[in-house]
Structure 1
Amino acid sequence: MSGQAARNVLWIMCDQLRWDYLSCYGHPRLRTPNIDRLAAEGVRFDNAFVQGPVCGPSRMSYYTGRYVTSHGAVWNFVPMSVGEMTLGDYLRPLGVRVAVAGKTHIEADRTGMQRLGIDPASAAGVLAAEGGFEPYDRDDGIWPPGFSDESHRYTQYLRKQGYGGANPWHDHANSALGASGEILSGWNMRYAGLPARVDEADAETPYMTRRAIEFIEQSGEQPWVLHLSYIKPHWPYVAPAPYHAMYSIDDVLAAKRVPRELENAHPVLQGFRQAEVSRNFSCDHVRETVVPTYMGLIKQVDDQLGVLFDYLRRSGRDQDTMVIFCSDHGDYLGDHYLGEKELFHDCVTKVPLIIRLPGAGARRGAVESRLVEAIDLVPTILDAMGADIPDHILEGRSLLPLLRGAQPAGWRPAVFSENNYAFRDFVREPLGRPADGCHTIMVRDHEWKYVHFEGLRPQLFNLRADPEEFDDLGADPAHAPIRERYQTMLFDWLRNRKIHPTVSHAAMTEWTRKEESAGIHIGRW
C-alpha cells in the first residue's frame, strides 16, 4: 500500500440523524461542539445525499459504493447477494482490519451461502453474513416483546451490570419507569419525556464509545477501519437522565408544513400520511414531547464523540486516522405531515457528512457545496488508504481531491435515491399497485428535484423558489418540459449502472488482443 493519506479510518454513523439538527449545520438551539470541532478541522459537505431513505438500502449503498438498483437490497431485511463486494472485501486482503461496533442492518444471504456451501459458523461465513465487517460488537437492537438474544453483547453487558428482565435492551435501555413501578415502553412516544431505566454510563451510546476505544487499543500496529455506528437517535425515542430533560418545548422548532401540501397531494404521500406515525407526528403535542428527547439523544452522541476525539489526541491516533461522520438518513419529525422516513424530502435524503483528513495539505474548516452521495465513501476510504479503486464495480467517486482542495473536472450534475413501497400495504393496496410496480427514484440537482413513481404521476419541486418543498409541480402542465428533462436524466442514469462487476474495463479492452495472442483467429481464411 503506497500513497496513503491515512493509516486508519474511523467511520462514525448515526441512525436517523437529520442534517439540520447539528449546530454546525445551523440548528439554533441544539449545540454540538464536538461535531462542530470536527467540522472545523475538516470538510463539511452541505449537499450530501443517501441512496435510499430507509436504513437497509441506504447502508448497503454506503458499504458497497453502489446504488440500490445495483446491489438489490431494496428495503430493510432484504438480503444483499453474498456475491456483492463490500469495503472489507477490498481492504482485508491488504492487511487492514475492518470491523463494526454498532448497527449495520445487514441481512445475511443465507440462501446464497447455502448454495455455495459456505458454513455460516466458519470465518468466511461470519464475514459473508456480516457484510464484510468483523462483528467486533454488532448492535442492531432487539425487537420486543419477548425477544432476547444472549449473543447480543450489549444485552450481556446490561445483565452483568444488574439489569434484569426478559429483555434488558427494551425493559431498561429503551423504557421508562411508571409511578407504580411498571415498565413504560419506549415504543409508546407518550413516554419520551421520561428518563430511561438505565444509568447514563450504561446506555447504548457511551457503551459503544467505550467499545470503539477498546477496539483501537487492541488493534495495535495493524491498520484498521472501524465503523462506529451509533443506534441513536433512532427510535425508540427515549434517553437516559440527564439527556431526557436537557431540552423543552421552547427548543422545538416549528414543523415545516403548510396546509396547501394536503391539497391534491401525490397519492403515495397520501398513503404514507395515513400511517400511525405520520398522524401522530402531525399533532403538536406529540412533537413537543418527542423532539426534545430526539435532541437529547443527539447531544449524548456529541458528548461521547468528545470523549472519543480526546482519546484519539491522547493516543496520537488523530495524526494518522481519517475521521468520517455521517447519518444513514433523516427523520420527518412531523415535517410535511409525515413521520419516520421512506420518502424524498431533504429532511430525510440529505444527511450530514464531515470528513477530517490527517496530515499536511488537508483542508481545514472548509465547506463543500458540490453534490456528493453515500456511495462516495467506499472509494474515498480506498483512495485514502492507498488501495486500488475498482471502477467497474464502484459507482461512487473518491472525495479525496475535495478534501485536499483540488478542483476536479466533470463533477456529477445530480444525485439519485431510491425506495420501494411494496412493503407498505397501507400505501400499495389502496393504490392497487402490484409488488413489482412500487419502485421510486429521486433525481436532484441544485435547482430541481424530480421523483419518479412507477405507474403514477411524478413529483417535481423547484428548489430555488421553494426550498422547503411545499409546492409539488408534478402535475403542472407549464412544467412538462422540466419533467421531460429530468426523466431523460433518469433514463441516462439507469443506462449507466455498473452491470459487469466480475470483469474490469481493462480486461474488456484487452480481450481481442488476448484472443489473438492465444491463437484464436475467428473468421481467418
Structure 2
Amino acid sequence: MNRHIRISSLLKRTTMLVIPALAAVAVPAPSQARMAAAPGASAPAPQAQRAPDIVLFIADDLSREDVGAYGSPDAKTPNIDRLAREGMRFTNAFAASPTCSPSRSSILTGDYPGRNGAHANHSAIKDGLTTLPAYLQKLGYRVVIAGKTDFGNRANFPFEYLPSSVIRPPEGRGVLWSNLNVEAVDKVLATRDRSKPLALIVATFAPHVPWPDNDGFDANKLTVPPYLLDTPETREARTEYLTKVRQADTELAAVRASIAKYGGADTTLFLFTADQGAQFPFAKWNLYDAGIATPLIAVWPGHIPTGKTTGAMVSLVDLLPTMEAAAGGKPTRGIDGESFLPVLLGKTDKGHDEIYAEHSGVLQTGPHANIAPMRAIRTDQYKLIVNFRPDIRYVNAISEGSGKEKSFWKSWVRAAQTDPRAKAVVEHFHHRVPVELYDIRKDPYELHNLANDPAYKNVSDGLRAKLDAWLVSEGEDPKHIPLPSEATPGNFPYAQ
C-alpha cells in the first residue's frame, strides 16, 4: 500500500470518529423564548444574572469565504450556518496574522505578534505575559483547552489540557497528525463542577492539511475564487479542502450537542472563528483577505440578538478582552485588543476604524524558507500591504511542498509556460512589490494594485503614515522589519 492511500484511509477513519457523537445527541431546538424572537431582536433577559460558560471554537486554516453562512456556494457547513441564524455574524473580523502560532498567540494574549513576541510561525511569546487562561481563572473560571495548541511554551498558558486523538503512520515513525477528541470534551461537560463557570477552548485541526480524498463534491461545479488559477488540479484540491471543512462543521455540531445535552445551551456564550485562511496561494501566509479575513459568529441566548449581521470591524486580538467583559470582569488595559461586547449585545455597530495584520514567515533558513516579512493596515474600504523584503523570492509550503494537497501548484507552473495570465499570477506569487494598495469595495479579491496610481497617492500616503505609527507603538522599526531568524524574542522555537 502506498503512502497516499494510507493517509487517505486514515483521514477517513478520523472523520468517522466524530459521527457517532452526532448520531447519539442531536442539537435541540432553541428555547421557546428564543424561537419567538424576530431576527435582529434580543431574546428576553434571563431571570437571574450568572457568569456564563464560554466556549471558543477555533477552526484551523478556514477562509471566511469558504463558509456557507458567508456566501460560499460550495461549502457544506449546515451547523455553522445554523449558528449564524441563532446569533450574530461578523463580516469584518480579521486575524492578527495569517499564520498558526502568531495568530493563536495573539488571540490568547490580546496583543499583536509584534508586541507579544511570537513573530514567526512556531515561535514563542515573551516570558512573563499574562494570557487568557490566567485572566479568566482570576474571575473564577475553570479554563480548559482541547485540540490544537501551537502557541508556545505551556508554562505561559496555564490551561487544563485535554488529550487529542493522535494518529501515527503504520510504520510507527512519528506523529502524522492529531484529531480533535470530542469524547474528551464531552466528558469535561458531563463531569464538571456546575458551581464554577467553565471556559472551554475547542481548537479543531480541521481543515488544516493533510486533506482527505474528495467526498461528495463535484469538482466541475465548484466556484474557483478569482485569485486562484482554475486548473483541474486546483479544483480537485478544493474538493479535498471542502471535505475537511465539513469535518470542522461536524465537530462543531458535536460540541454544541454535548453542551445542550448537559443543560448548558441557554447559559453559554459560544464563539466560532478560525485562526487564518486556507492553505492556498495568496491565502494562508499572506495578508490578502483570503488569508486574514476570518469567520466570527457568536451565540448567547438572552443577550446576543438572533439572526443579526454586523459590519463592525474587529480583530481576533479583541477576543480576550471581550471574553473578560462577558465573564463580568473589566477588560484588561494596556493590551492591543478592545472589548466588542457592546456590539454583541446589540448596543452599537461601531468597531475599529482600521485593523492591522502581520506576517513574519517561519523559523527556517535557506532558499526554500518562507521568511519575507510583510505588514498591513485595512480599513472598511482600503488595504495597504508593505513588503519589507521584496528582494527575497517569496515561497511557502505550497510552492515548495510535495504532499498531494499541494500538488496543484505544479499545474500552475505548467500553465505559466504557455498562458500569460498564469505566468503573471505565478510571478506575482514569487515576487512581491514593495507596496500594494487595494480598494476592497471595488476589488474584493485584491487583484488590481493601486499603489502607483496618482489618483490614490493621498490614500496610500495616509495609510502608510498610520501603519508606520502603529509599528512604532508595537516596538517595531518601520524602516527595518527583521527576518524571523533575527527577531527577538521570536528567534527561538517554542518547546514541544
Is the TM value for this pair above 0.5? yes
| 2:133 alignment partner, one of 82, 88, 101 | 88
What residue is the counterpart of 1:252 in the other structure? 222
1:91-139 deviation digits (Å, cap 9, x = unpaired): 223331112100021222xxxxxxxxxxxxxxxxxx515x2322222x5
1:440 aligns with 2:348: no
How far, CA to CA, are the matches of 2:436 and 2:155 in structure 1? 38
- Between 66-75 and 26-35, report the one with greater CA deviation: 26-35
Aligned mates of 2:117, 2:309 — CA distance in 1: 33
1:300–1:429 CA distance, 2 compared to 1 (3 A) = closer
Q: Can you give the 5+ residue segments of structure 1 that lack an aligned partner in the other structure?
A: 109-126, 140-153, 175-202, 258-280, 500-525
* Aligned residue number for residue 226 of structure 1: 200
The one of 355, 360, 383 equivalent to 2:298 is 355
Q: Which residue of 2 aligns with 1:391?
A: 333
Change in 2 beyond 3 A, CA 1:498/1:423:
closer
Is 1:303 equivalent to 2:330 in the alignment?
Answer: no
Q: Is the 8 A contact 1:421 1:427 kept in 2?
A: no
- Find the aligned partners of 1:478 and 1:362 in 2 and give their Cα distance: 42
Instruction: Report the Cα distance in structure 2 between the residues aligned to 1:459 and 1:340, rounded to whole angstroms.
Output: 15
**Within-5 A mapping of 1:116-515:** 127-128=154-155, 131-137=157-163, 139=164, 154-155=165-166, 165-167=171-173, 169-170=175-176, 204-205=179-180, 208-221=181-194, 222-238=196-212, 244-257=214-227, 282=229, 284-331=231-278, 333=280, 338=281, 341-358=284-301, 360-392=302-334, 394-407=335-348, 411-421=351-361, 423=363, 438-454=372-388, 457-497=434-474
Compute the displacement of 1:408 (Å): 6.7
In 2, are the aligned partners of 1:233 and 1:294 still within 8 Å (CA)?
yes
**Separation in 2, partners of 1:69, 1:498:** 7
1:138-170 superposed Cα distances (whole Å, 9 cap, x missing partner): x5xxxxxxxxxxxxxx23xx68xxx95404853
- CA pair 17-455 structure 1, distance change in 2 beyond 3 A: closer
Amino acid paired to 1:351: T
Distance 2:462 2:367 in 1: 28
Number of aligned positions between the proteins: 385
d(CA) in 2 for partners of 1:11, 1:345: 25
- Cα offset, 1:405, TM superposition: 0.7
SS in 1 for 2:375: strand
Identity of aligned residues (%): 26
Go from structure 1 to structure 2 and tell me whether the alpha carbon gap of 1:451 and 1:424 turns closer, same or farther (over 3 Å shift).
Answer: farther
CA 1:362–1:34: 2 relative to 1, 3 Å: same
1: CA distance, partners of 2:283 / 2:387: 20
For residue 310 of structure 1, what is the amino acid of its counterpart? A
Q: Deviations over 1:372-406 (max 9, x none)?
A: 100111011111111222212x2211121111110
* Equivalent-residue separation in structure 2 for 1:22 and 1:85 (angstroms): 33
Give me the TM-score of the superposition, normalised by structure 1: 0.68
Query: Residue type matched to 2:319 in 1?
Result: L
Structure 2 unpaired stretches of 5+: 1-47, 391-433, 477-496
Find the residue that maps to 1:231 and give its secondary structure: coil
Cα–Cα, structure 1 residues 427 and 454, in superposed 2: closer, same or farther, change >3 Å? farther
Cα distance in 2 for partners of 1:442, 1:461 equals 11
Answering whether residue 100 of structure 2 is matched by residue 55 of structure 1, we say yes
Contact 1:380 1:397 in 2 (8 A): yes
Contact kept, 8 Å, 1:77 with 1:105, in 2: the verdict is yes
Question: What TM-score results when the alignment is normalised by the length of structure 2?
Answer: 0.72
Instruction: Give the structure with higher Rg (CA).
Output: 1
Equivalent residue for 1:77, pick from 84, 106, 122: 122
Residue in structure 1 matched with residue 72 of structure 2 by the alignment:
27
* Whole-angstrom CA distance in 1 between matches of 2:360 and 2:101: 12
Offset, 1:88:
0.7
Match in the other structure for 1:274: none
Structure 2 CA distance for partners of 1:461 and 1:425, relative to 1, 3 Å = farther
Shift of 1:321: 1.0
Equivalent pair of 1:5/1:384 in contact (CA under 8 Å): no
Provide the rounded CA distance (Å) in 1 between the counterparts of 2:450 and 2:255: 46
In structure 2, the CA distance between the partners of 1:408 and 1:463, relative to structure 1 (3 Å rule), is: closer
CA 1:483–1:245 in structure 2 vs 1: closer, same or farther (change >3 Å)?
Answer: same
* Alpha-carbon displacement from aligned partner over 1:335-354 (angstroms, at most 9, x marks no partner): xxx26621111111100000
Whether the 8 Å contact between 1:209 and 1:304 is mirrored in structure 2 is yes
8 Å CA contact 1:14–1:326 kept in 2: the answer is yes
Verify the 8 A CA contact 2:282 2:290 in the aligned structure 1. Answer: no
Helix, strand or coil: the match of 1:348?
Answer: helix
Structure 1 Cα separation of the partners of residues 210 and 283 of structure 2? 12
Over 3 Å counting, the alpha-carbon distance change for 1:398 and 1:210 in structure 2 is: same
Cα distance 1:296–1:426, how it changes in 2: closer, same or farther (>3 A)? same
Segment of structure 1 superposing worse, 450-459 or 33-42:
450-459
Q: Over the residues paired in the alignment, what is the CA RMSD in angstroms? A: 2.7
Give the equivalent residue in structure 2 for 1:10: 55
By how many angstroms is 1:332 displaced?
5.3
Partner of 1:177: none
Aligned position for 1:262: none
Contact kept? 1:99, 1:135, Cα under 8 Å: yes
Deviation at 1:323, TM superposition (A): 0.5
What's the secondary structure of 1:44's corresponding residue? strand
What is the CA deviation profile of residues 476-502 of structure 1, one whole-angstrom value per residue up to 9, with x for unaligned ones?
344322211101211332354599xxx
Letter in 1 for 2:206: K
| CA deviation map 1:307-362 (0-9, x unaligned) | 322232232111211101000001253xxxx266211111111000001123x242
* Structure 1 residue identity aligned to 2:131: T
Distance 1:379 1:498, change over 3 A: farther
* Paired residue secondary structure (2:294): strand
